[in-house]
């Protein structure tokens, strides 16, 4: 069965000029945070592993602009953009990346495990495909408590080849749970092209197997992402059940910082940078409609740079956790209540 390429409108029906600038601000804040993180990682300030979302900012931004603070998301190993767009503070994120005590997980989670339940960010996840069933669990809680919250599960094309994908979509479908599955098809899973490793032409084709609607859109056009997310989230929130949205994008940076990228040519990447950068495309869109000028764009960039510089300083100035704290917060109960559990 052919995939459903839906044309969602390429204009905003009701967003004010200020709200449209807000979308651009979020995209620029994500880009600025990550560009600095890349440098800091290469300067050995940030330990561990870092996967950048550069080039994919339109998806987190367009989706999250349609969510409430009380809605939930589950993220991936490439989660900085999701966290920022859902309302996470960049200073606590940066501190987490540094391994500092003031970070979201007290410095013990790092880039791939940022979570903040107070804003509905149920966690980035180092396990590919690890977020699907957490989102389904959140959807079950909304069903039992009869709230109108929704859960959004972001996932890569590679993750759609895991068994957890099948379990999650099947259960969400039979129980008509308020879960929206957002695929970020950046055309690679590590070094493997999506077309090689995936049995269908479009990830959205897979929705049919679970009795739900599936659509494919241009994930580098924040206007289309916003409009698609608005319609689908509205439907799911009022009880229409789960839905799958595939957003076609492109990972501009390596799979991780330091990736030698032998699986693609520099020319291919350069073409995407020139023709398909979601931030450039949105600035062009706004300029064509006389909704922004160069000075305003410059101001947005400047403000993002000072925010991220302050976040970096916060992280630099923060202490590391004490060695005695290493085993704290590993469980949701206090180990002293269960002395039989050996640590
Ligand atoms: C269960 C599991 N298998 C393998 C890995 C190693 N791994 C990390 S990222 C990745 C590729 C994921 O690709 P995709 O889901 O398309 O996300 P993308 O990196 O493109 O954003 C793999 C295989 C892992 N972290 N977890």
Say if 328 falls within a structural domain.
Answer: no
Cα(195)–Cα(188) distance, rounded to whole angstroms? 9
Would you put residue 175 in left (φ > 0), alpha (ψ -120 to 50) or beta?
Answer: alpha
Say if 250 falls within a structural domain.
Answer: yes
Regarding the beta carbon of 126 and ligand 1, being less than 6 Å apart is answered: yes
Mean pLDDT, 10 residues at a time, the chain of 343 residues: 67 94 98 98 96 98 98 98 98 98 96 96 98 98 97 98 98 98 98 96 96 97 98 98 98 98 98 98 98 98 98 98 88 66 54
Say if 45 falls within a structural domain.
Answer: yes
Cα(181)–Cα(206) distance, rounded to whole angstroms? 11
CA distances to 161, 184, 202 from 3, rounded to whole Å, are 18, 16, 7
DSSP assignment of 158-188: GGGGSHHHHHHHHHHHHTT-SEEEEEEE-SE
For the CA of 128, the nearest atom of ligand 1: 26
Q: What predicted TM-score, i.e. pTM, was given to this entire model? A: 0.96
Name every residue whose Cβ is closer than 8 Å to that of residue 105 and which is 6 or more positions away in sequence.
96, 113, 114, 115, 329
Say if 338 falls within a structural domain.
Answer: no
Rg (CA), the chain: 20
Cα(92)–Cα(106) distance, rounded to whole angstroms? 9
Domain that holds residue 60: 17-317
Q: Quick one: pLDDT at residue 2?
A: 41
Regarding the beta carbon of 310 and ligand 1, being less than 6 Å apart is answered: no
With residue 270 as reference, give the H or E element that holds it: helix 266-276
Say if 255 falls within a structural domain.
Answer: yes
Say if 337 falls within a structural domain.
Answer: no
The number of domains in the chain is 1
Mutate to test the pocket of ligand 1, among 158, 250, 264 (most ligand atoms within 8 A of CB): 158
Regarding the beta carbon of 127 and ligand 1, being less than 6 Å apart is answered: yes
Q: 72 exposed, middle or buried (CB, 10 Å; 0-12, 13-18, 19+)?
A: buried
Say if 2 falls within a structural domain.
Answer: no
Q: Are 251 and 238 in contact (CB under 8 A)?
A: no
Q: Quick one: pLDDT at residue 37?
A: 98
CA-proximal residue: ligand 1, atom 7 (nearest): 128
Q: What is the CATH number of the domain that holds 109?
A: 3.40.50.970
Say if 157 falls within a structural domain.
Answer: yes
Mutate to test the pocket of ligand 1, among 53, 77, 153, 182 (most ligand atoms within 8 A of CB): 77
CA-proximal residue: ligand 1, atom 21 (nearest): 156
């Amino acid at each position: 069965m052919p995939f459903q390429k839906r044309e969602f409108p390429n204009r905003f029906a009701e967003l004010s000029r200020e709200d449209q600038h807000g979308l651009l601000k979020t995209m620029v804040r994500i880009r600025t945070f990550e560009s600095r993180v890349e440098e800091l990682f290469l300067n050995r300030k940030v330990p561990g592993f870092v996967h950048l979302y550069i080039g994919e900012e339109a998806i987190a931004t367009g989706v999250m602009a349609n969510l409430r603070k009380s809605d939930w998301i589950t993220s991936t190993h490439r989660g900085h953009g999701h966290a920022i767009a859902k309302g996470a503070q960049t200073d606590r994120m940066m501190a987490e990346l540094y391994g500092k005590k003031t970070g979201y997980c007290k410095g013990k989670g790092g880039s791939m495990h940022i979570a903040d339940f107070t804003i509905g960010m149920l966690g980035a996840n180092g396990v590919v495909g690890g977020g699907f069933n957490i989102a389904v669990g959140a959807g079950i809680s909304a069903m039992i408590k009869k709230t109108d919250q929704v859960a959004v599960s972001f996932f890569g094309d590679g993750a759609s080849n895991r068994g957890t994908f099948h379990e999650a979509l099947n259960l969400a479908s039979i129980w008509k749970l308020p879960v929206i599955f957002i695929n970020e098809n950046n055309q690679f899973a590590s070094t493997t092209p999506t077309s090689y490793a995936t049995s269908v032409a479009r990830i959205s084709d897979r929705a049919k197997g679970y009795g739900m609607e599936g659509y494919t859109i241009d994930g580098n056009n924040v206007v289309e992402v916003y409009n698609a997310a608005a319609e689908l989230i509205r439907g799911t929130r009022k009880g229409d059940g789960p839905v799958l949205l595939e957003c076609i994008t492109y990972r501009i940076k390596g799979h991780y910082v330091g990736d030698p990228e032998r699986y693609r040519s520099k020319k291919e990447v350069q073409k995407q940078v020139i023709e398909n950068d979601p931030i450039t495309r949105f600035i062009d869109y706004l300029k064509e409609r006389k909704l922004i000028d160069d000075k305003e764009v410059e101001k947005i960039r400047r403000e993002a740079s000072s925010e991220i510089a302050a976040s970096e300083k916060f992280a630099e100035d923060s202490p590391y956790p004490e060695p005695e704290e290493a085993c704290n917060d590993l469980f949701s109960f206090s180990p002293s209540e269960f002395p039989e559990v050996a640590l």
